[in-house]
Amino acid sequence: MTTALITGASSGLGAEYARQLAARGVHLVLVARGESALRALADELETKHRIAAEVLPADLLDPADLATVVARLSDDARPVATLINNAGYGLPLEFERNDIEDEVRHLRLHDEVAMRLMHAALQGMLARGEGRIMNVASVAAFIPRSTYSAAKRWLVVFSTWANDRYAPRGVTVTAVCPGYTHTKFHERLGLPPGEEGVPSWMWLTARTVVAQSLRDAVRGRAVSIPSVRYRLLARLARILPARITARIGERGR
């Protein structure tokens, strides 16, 4: 039985990745700031699927906590076969009004933290000749949307390069690019459910996003865009003028 380490595992896509992997018999290392939520999830999955779920409370923007997670990924005695970089959050689109330190923390979590965890995981994965890394980005990576798009675009570009570089050595890297997905992401931005200004047909479920992205990762795809409608939107965004795609990106949060 293999082990997967998931960041941002206490809710949303992270918790759904944990549930679907546990159902496949995968052991888990659950990482997030909320220890009580992690322990409740770990107890649920251990009881239901008879797997081992390790709880690793950590604020990934705290250097000491981040070092703890890096050390766990580097532990050859307890190898991690799959790393899922899922931790993240959004900020208001008004960059000029946002606190610059909030913007810096936002960039660090999405890109620097993910980069450090990938670097740590790759050492053992490449030595063993197998492994899987999944970076939860966003379809916003293809649509101008303040610093959120910029941060997610980095994940897509790096994952595309890394997959080509390391797949021949047994390690695949996949950027997961969902569209609007029903989680608590938007509520954390202060938007009650139903007030995001996004048509109902554009919403995806966490279960669908996770299931499709896991299939794409198994197939070794560098980029996974769950749902046909968002794959079409990403293609269309490549040919539309930036001023139009930027207006599309202003919908919702």
Q: Is 48 considered catalytic here?
A: no
- Strand pairing report for 3-7 and 82-85: parallel
Catalytic residue among 17, 148, 180, 230: 148
Contact (CB, 8 A) for 124 and 82: no
Q: Is 180 considered catalytic here?
A: no
Cα–Cα distance between 234 and 228 in angstroms, integer?
10
Q: What is the CA radius of gyration of the chain?
A: 17
DSSP state of 56: E
Contact (CB, 8 A) for 110 and 88: yes
Catalytic residue among 17, 152, 180, 230: 152
Q: To 10 degrees, what angle do helices 12-23 and 35-49 make?
A: 20
Cα–Cα distance between 60 and 113 in angstroms, integer?
7
> Which of helix, strand or coil describes residue 135?
strand
Within 10 angstroms of residue 3's Cβ, the number of other Cβ atoms is: 18
The residues annotated as belonging to the active site are: 148, 152
